Structures are given as C-alpha cells and as structure tokens.
Amino acid sequence: MAKVWAYFDAVGPLTGRPWPIHYREDEDARLARLQAMGVRAFPSLVYPHKPGMAAWLNDWAADFAAGHSEVLPTATFFPEESAAAYVQAALSRGAKVFKAHVQVGAYDPRDALLRPVWAQLAEAGVPVVVHCGDGPAPGPYTGPAIFAEVLAAHPTLTAVIAHMGMPDYAAFLDLAERYERIHLDTTMAFTRWAEGLVPFPDRLRVRLSRLADRIVLGSDFPNIPYGYFEQLAGLVRLDLGEGWLRGVLHDNAARLLAPSRSVNGPK
C-alpha cells in the first residue's frame, strides 16, 4: 500500500493536478469506515508491477478474505511462466475476482504467457477487472485497440473495464456492445474531479442506459483524491433513474459475482 500511495503521490504532475490520498489510514480504520458506510462486500484488488509478485499477493489476498467475511477472495497475475499454475490455484481455492493492471504493470496483455490465463478465466466465468485505459496517464500497452485483440481471441472473457475506460469512453462502450460478457466499472468516472479532466460526453449517456445491466460500481477506495460519496453523487447526477442506479450500486455486481462455472470444465 505504501508503494501504491507513493505512485499516486508522484502521478499528480502527470495529470496536471495533485492526487492527495483521501483515506490515508491504517487497515482497521479503512475496514471500519467501509462498514459504517454500508458497503456490503468488496474485493481487495491487488496487482504486481514485476515478475515474482503475483503469487504472494494472491496468498495475502486469500488470507485477508478468509479473515473478513465482507472481503471477496481476489487474485492477480503477471506475464511469467508460472502464471497459468498460480491462476489455476487461485481459481481452485475460490477466487471471485481477478485484477489486471496493464498500465502499472506495463505489460502487453497479448503476451503469449497470458493466453492460458485469459482462457482459464473465460472458461471459469470469473470476472477480471482490467485497467487498460489511458487514464490517468498512458502506458506502453494501454488503450482500447490492444485489449480489443485480447477479446477477439477470448470473446467469452468476463472482463470489467476499470474507470469506464477513461478517457476513451466511446471506444470501450463499443467493446461492451460487441462482447456480451464485458462490463464497465464507474471508478472515478462522473465525479467532479474526473469531469474537470476528462468529462464523460453527454451524447454517450443513452448508451449507459442501454448497458444498464453491465455497469458496476467502482470506487478505488482508499486511493482517491476525494470523499467516497462523491462517486455515488456523480452517479445520481446522471439522472438515469432509480432502477439504473440500483443495478449499478448492487444488483449488477451481485449477479456478476454469483457462483462461477466449474474451474474443471464448462457447465
């Protein structure tokens, strides 16, 4: 967490504005805050930035979830020879969500070492939250065109595009309309902070309605430069109706995180 916070402390100049961590608190305080706010379940989204990290991050995440009933078991991966084996191990012990951070990891999601990983996740039906957009700063393998190649090779992959794919909102909405298992999370999108940098085009709002069942709440808590409720207020400001809001805040994620298909084969 200290390294993650150091990254955001440094990324401010790249975005043109400071990125003060709003919830720079210890673990117990963060857990208590989420419980007080009424968050029923959440993943601990971990991700490596170099080889040799993912397996022990997965062990930590599994232990953390085992000790806290509201925490979803999560896992991650990196393009390395051992990836397929530790991803299979994580699936076998009940991982509910995976995280792939293409920007921070600075790796090519089309890497041959990841082909069996994407295939495993597609077969299992376990969602993977993928940060593959160019925000807050582009990486060597970010942008919709590159991840579109992953989806073309694995069209049944259940992927959740982080941050609505900002700043390329339209292109990632295109992918969600093309692939029925693609979801988008709201992290930072629609907040006043993000709207000051990369505003969501008003002309795209009708597409949010059409994809009402595949948009899920994301927050990036605690690594955000504003209060948690600003994310919720941004969704309310869209004025897309109570049903749409209920789906984004609860129903869509509850359905997405329902028991997945067998890791040993298709249903």
Residue 194 inside a domain? The answer is yes
CA–CA gap between residue 205 and residue 215 (Å, rounded): 12
Token readout for 18 is 């400071």
Question: Rg (Cα) of the chain, in Å, rounded?
Answer: 17
Distance CA 143, CA 138 (A): 8
- Tell me the CATH number at 185: 3.20.20.140
Q: What is the pLDDT of residue 136?
A: 84
C-beta of residue 144 within 8 angstroms of C-beta of residue 168: yes
Output the pLDDT for position 13.
Answer: 64
266 in a structural domain: no
Per the structure, the count of domains in the chain is 1
251 HSE (CA, 13 A, CB side):
9
- Residues near 229 by beta carbon (within 8 Å), at least 6 away in sequence: 37
Residue 159 lies in a domain: yes
- Residue-wise pLDDT tens for the chain (267 aa)? 888 888 888 876 666 778 899 999 999 999 999 999 999 999 999 999 999 999 999 999 999 999 999 999 999 999 999 999 999 999 999 999 999 999 999 999 999 999 999 999 999 999 999 999 998 889 999 999 999 999 999 999 999 999 999 999 999 999 999 999 999 999 999 999 999 989 999 999 999 999 999 999 999 999 999 999 999 999 999 999 999 999 999 999 999 998 654 444 333
> Whole-structure pTM over 0.85, yes or no?
yes
Residue-level pLDDT at 6: 87
Q: What residues make up the domain containing 126?
A: 2-7+16-40+49-256
Asked if residue 193 belongs to a domain, the reply is: yes
Kindly state the greatest CA–CA separation across the chain: 49
The reply to whether 137 falls in a domain is yes
Look at residue 263 and tell me if it is in a domain: no
The answer to the question of residue 262 being in a domain is no
pLDDT at 259: 60
